[in-house]
Amino acid sequence: MEILMAEHAGFCFGVARVISEVDRRLTAGERLMTYGPVIHNERVIQELEERGAHVLNTPEELAGMDGETLVIRAHGVTRQVMAQIRQMGLSYTDQTCPFVKRIHRIVAEAGARGETVVVAGDPSHPEVEGIVSYCEGPCFVIEGPEKALELQLEADTRVCLVAQTTFQINKFQEIVEVFTRKVYNLNVVDTVCNATEERQTEAARLAEEADAMIVIGGAKSSNTRKLFEICRDRCPNTYLIQRARELPERFPEGVRRIGITAGASTPNNTIEEVLEHVGRIV
């Protein structure tokens, strides 16, 4: 039995940045609140909660803060929530991923130029909600090329097309092709994170070589779900797990090569735990 481990797996830059800052502050004895889960990994969030970093989920909960420092999550928050935090004079540290902040600037500038903004992404994801909040003019969120086909704008509309940082790169390219055929005055800004593109490309290659694929990450993690979809399309024996104990006791007959990858919110100790477990199965 052969194990194929993805080279690009585990914490991305933005996640490593916020986790490092939270760990540093907790170690120093600071009292912390986070606006939303700082990353989409239930296991990590539970561990941080046990250490004293409590999660707030709504703007109304900000009023209950009593001297804690507020951590802005890697996905960012809406412009309105950010304005409320500042207006209330709360102590905070903004750990929004720089690549997400870049999209905020891009869409704000596009709106100021009179362009219609189209965001390729999940409309219910906090990153996308934040991006949309920075749009001054018309803004549409589409989840794939099918929605791009359905979107009806005037042929000469000036469109700025961006993507959620964890969007599936192949789907984004398909959306660009759809919009190009519609003869829009198109400004495409590829905002899919380089780390996302590397992981997706590598996961696709491993899934084509493997008899079974294991994708490690949180169930609510957008980038992990996309890795799972990419792998499942190429390898029917694909497992999405958060920890080693969720693996089957045995793999199906004929499985000789097992590929392993992990989402951007998956800590190294979880990856190592899964590798050790798989080693025992094989």
DSSP label at 267? -
Element of type H or E holding 259: strand 257-262
- Please report the domains of the chain, with CATH numbers, ordered by start residue: 2-10+195-281 (3.40.1010.20), 13-97 (3.40.50.11270), 99-192 (3.40.1010.20)
Is 282's pLDDT higher than 70? Answer: no
Q: Tell me which residue of 44, 42, 54, 52 sits closest to 16, measured CA to CA.
A: 44
127 among known catalytic residues: yes
For 95-136, the pLDDT digits (tens) are 999 999 999 999 999 999 999 999 999 999 999 999 999 998
CB contact burial 202-241 (16+ within 10 A = b; e otherwise): bbbebbeebbbbbbbbbeebbbbbbbbbbbbebbebbbbb
User: pLDDT tens digit string along 217-244?
Assistant: 988 888 999 999 999 999 999 999 999 9
Options 127, 129, 143, 202, the catalytic residue: 127
